[in-house]
Every structure is written in C-alpha cells, then in structure tokens.
Amino acid sequence: AQTVTQSQPEMSVQEAETVTLSCTYDTSENNYYLFWYKQPPSRQMILVIRQEAYKQQNATENRFSVNFQKAAKSFSLKISDSQLGDTAMYFCAFPSSGTYKYIFGTGTRLKVLA
C-alpha cells in the first residue's frame, strides 16, 4: 500500500532559525511527484513546494527547500529564517498515478516563537 508518514506531530522553532520537517513515503512507482502543503490558522491549504522524483536537484522556493532522497523514500522540508507567519500545519502529499488518489501524511504542527 502507498503511504505517507510524518513522524513529528508538533515542532517549534525560534524566529529566524532553521527547522526541518520530515516525511517518508512508500511507493513502487518510479516516476512521481511529492508536495508540501501549508495550512495556517485560516484553514486554507497552500502549496509550498513540489519535487519531481526523476530530478536529482532538490526543489527550492525562497526560504523553503527540500531534501529529497529517492532511495530512502524521504522528502523533508527545510524552512530557513523562520517567520511568525510560518506558524501552520504542514502536510506532505503524494499523488498516486496508479490509484488516482492524493495521499496525505498526518501533518506536523509548526509553531514559530518570537
């Protein structure tokens, strides 16, 4: 079965520091994409970053970057220079091409401390 696991239910980080959120997944597919979504207190789900599995280079979007290790099936999100507005729930997601389903992890609640 295809699964996505986020092992850190809650994390906190000081403003301006760096934090890494972990995500592991399991799939037999060879070509796929992985996503990180952010859910702030407003509940709106916002795409943070995506990674194409066949690309060696890790994706980067401003202060957000990923550490993608395909062999280990690991897809962690690094937030640099954390800001108060980064306080949110973060979900790792995997759209399965085989089953047409979009599979989410259980989420990591991140709190940025002033």
Partner 1 sequence: EAQVTQNPRYLITVTGKKLTVTCSQNMNHEYMSWYRQDPGLGLRQIYYSMNVEVTDKGDVPEGYKVSRKEKRNFPLILESPSPNQTSLYFCASRLSYREYSEAFFGQGTRLTVV
Q: Which residues bind partner 1 (CB under 8 A)?
A: 6, 9, 29, 31-33, 35, 37, 42-45, 47, 50, 52, 91, 93, 95-97, 100-107
Nearest approach, Cβ of residue 12 and partner 1 (Å): 18
Nearer to partner 1, 6 or 76 (CB): 6
Residue 21: both structure tokens together: 């959120």
Cα separation, 73 vs 90, in Å, equals 18
Nearest approach, Cβ of residue 114 and partner 1 (Å): 26
Task: Please give the C-alpha separations between residue 57 and each of 75, 90, 106, in angstroms, as whole numbers.
Answer: 12, 22, 26
Residue type, 70: K
